[in-house]
Every structure is written in structure tokens, then in C-alpha cells.
Amino acid sequence: MEAVATTTDNRILREDLAAVYATLTAAERAKFQDATVLITGCGGFLGYFFMHFFAEYAPELGLRRVVALENFLTGTKDWLQELTARHPELLELHEFNVITDDVAAVPGAAEADLVIHLASIASPTFYRIYPLETVDANVTGLRRLLDYYAERPLRGFLFFSSSEIYGDPQPEFIPTPEDYRGNVASIGPRACYDEAKRFGETLCYLFAQKYGMPVAIARPFNNYGPGMSLGDRRLPADFAQAVVEGRDLEILSDGSPTRTFCYISDAISGYLKVLLHGRFDVFNIGQDQPELSVRQFAELFTAAGRDIFGYPGRITFQTSADREYLTDNPNRRCPDLAKARAVLGYRPAVDVAAGIRRYLQFLHHSLTRSVS
């Protein structure tokens, strides 16, 4: 296959894409040979990185085609159109609603060897605006895909669940293993997302049992980095936006809830390994250390922001005008990665301080380029 044009001129993104490729074993890379990948929800944060990765490394992987589906409810067209225009022989973008549209009508869908079901809203701000769409993407949309591919010879089918299915674990279940059953509210502002992901996992299990589908489930833990829109409204994006705009970082709590944060290149490496696992299973994918408070996370952004943007702001504590902002918000979130390490060979490598610097460097380059 002839070499293609460089996918990006952003050094940070190029390095991150190369880091992901380096984590794949020869056997994992071989599963992409002559493969067609179908990816739903390609216009979001994770879709951004998947699409750039496939575009950049299609020649090395021997990838035949990527069929990319997006309804643009919250995803963006600008970078997608630019990327697909640069790789017309590889990337096929279709405006598509997984809830209502028929995947059988999509050119190339029938030939898919690998399916990545990303289509969902993951930001609490937006899934509370679109709660029924969030449920339907993870239940109805997933079911339609499973029905269509149930008896087709797939190499892998990846469903994106969430660490939110664990709810707010008791301290003895931190770090949280995959066999923890969770403690989730079925009624409340987060239920549309949490319960839809839980039921989606059940669907995957049932189809794997009945049809032998190679469905695998990833449970992401707090991803951030290049591709995350500043308007995403999740914590890393809010902090990055404040740094870029030179505003104070506002924390809408007392800053004590804790999380581990996984840089995007480490996350995508894990998701690809789950996709290529080839049989039913479920894996935590994230970073297991350090577990930081929201305040500590903000402090890392202010320090990196001063170096990269000359950031003049400070950390402030406010109260959200939304009375349900913190309802059912977990106090701690940290994955047990023992299973992913042992079964998949998953090894997250980017420290959170370094990851935040890389995210802000990516944004600095992108913003400098856009005004030059």
C-alpha cells in the first residue's frame, strides 16, 4: 500500500498515535490486515483519536477501510471533514443515527470485520439534556447493531460501557475490580447514562452467549487529552478551557472527590486490545495511580498552564446553579487493572502531570495554528 499524507501536523498528537501503535503486539496488528472497521459515534472525543489513529497507521496495519458513522448531535464535522478529505481512499463518513437508521443501508457495513460502538453521550451536562437519546444509543442502537452482526464473521465487537456503572463503591472496593456489582441509582439525574450502560452490558453478554459473538466490553475511567473538546463540560475540558481563556479555575464542589485520570493514548491502547480480544469479556481501562482530589487535579492544570500559556488565574470554589449537579456523583473512582494487565498486557504509562502538559501543549499548538 502506498504511503499516505501525514494525518496531523500537531507534534503531540503524532507522538501519541505512535505510542499507541507501539503497544500493539504483532498478533494484534495482524487482526487489522485487510479489515474493514465500522465505528459509530466517530465525531466525539474518543472518535477523534480512533479516526486519526486509523488514518495514520492504515498502511502499517494493512487496514482496508473505515466506515465512520455520526449523527452530529454533539459530535463535530470540521476535523472529520478535513480528515476524510485527506484520506478518501480509506475513510468513509456517513451521517447516521444508530437509534433509527438501518445499518444494512450503509455501504461497506456488511463487510465490517471489526465494530466499535462509541455512539453515546458521555458528558453529564449533555446526557441530562438528551436523556432518552442517551438511553436509546446504548440500548436500542446497540441492539440493532448486535442483531445485524449476530451471525456475521466478526473479528471483534467493542462496546463502550463506563466506570459509572459501579456507582459509588465502598472503600473496601477501591480500587474497583470488574466483578464488583455496583451501587447505582435507577432514578435520578445520572440514571439515563448509568443504567443504559449496565443494560447494554447485559445485551452484549446475551448475544455472546447465544451467537458466540466476539463482543468485549470496556469500562473507561476518566479519559482526557487531545481530541477532548473545550466545550465538553467534563472536568479536564473545563479546566483546560479556563487555562486557555485565562480565567480562574472554578471548582463546583469542595474539591475533595477523588479520581484517577487516564491520558488518551493509554486509553486507546487499552480499547484496541479489548476490541482485538476476540471473545466475550469485560475490562477496566484507565490509570490506577495516582488517585487525586479534584483540587489536586486543578493544581496540576494551573502549574502546567503557567508554563505553557502564561496562565494568570487561580483556583476558586463556587456552588453550581444546578441543584442536581452533585447528585449521585461518586466520591471516589479508581480502577483495579489486574485483569487487564494479566489478560491483555495493558500497561498505562503516562503520568497525569505529564498528560496534562501534553493536553495543554496540544491545545496551544492548535490555537496558535488557527490564528496564524
Q: Name the helix (H) or strand (E) containing 157.
A: strand 156-160
Q: What is the per-residue pLDDT across 166-184, written as a single tens digit (0 to 9) for each?
A: 999 999 999 999 999 988 9
Query: Mean pLDDT for each 10-residue chunk of the chain (372 residues)?
Result: 54 97 98 98 95 98 98 81 95 96 97 96 85 94 98 97 94 96 90 95 98 98 95 92 95 89 98 98 97 96 97 90 66 96 98 98 85 50
Q: Determine contact, residues 278/156, Cβ cutoff 8 Å.
A: yes
> Which pLDDT belongs to residue 335?
98
The separation between CA 132 and the C-alpha centre of its own chain, rounded to angstroms, equals: 21
pLDDT at 320: 72
pLDDT of res. 6: 54
pLDDT (0 to 100) of residue 1: 28
Task: Give Cα separations from 206 to 104, 116, 144, 146, 147 (angstroms).
Answer: 22, 18, 14, 10, 11
Question: What is the rounded distance in angstroms from the CA atom of residue 197 to the CA atom of residue 82?
Answer: 32
Q: What is the pLDDT of residue 115?
A: 98
Per-residue pLDDT tens over the stretch 328-351: 678 899 999 999 999 999 999 999
Rounded to two decimals, the pTM is 0.95
Please give the pLDDT value at position 372. Answer: 47
Which domains can be identified in the chain, with CATH numbers? 11-227+262-287+331-350 (3.40.50.720)
Between CA 93 and CA 75 the distance in angstroms is: 13
Q: Supply the residues annotated as catalytic.
A: 193
Residue 201 — left, alpha, or beta (φ > 0 → left; ψ -120 to 50 → alpha)?
alpha
3-class DSSP assignment, residue 272? helix
pLDDT at 8: 77
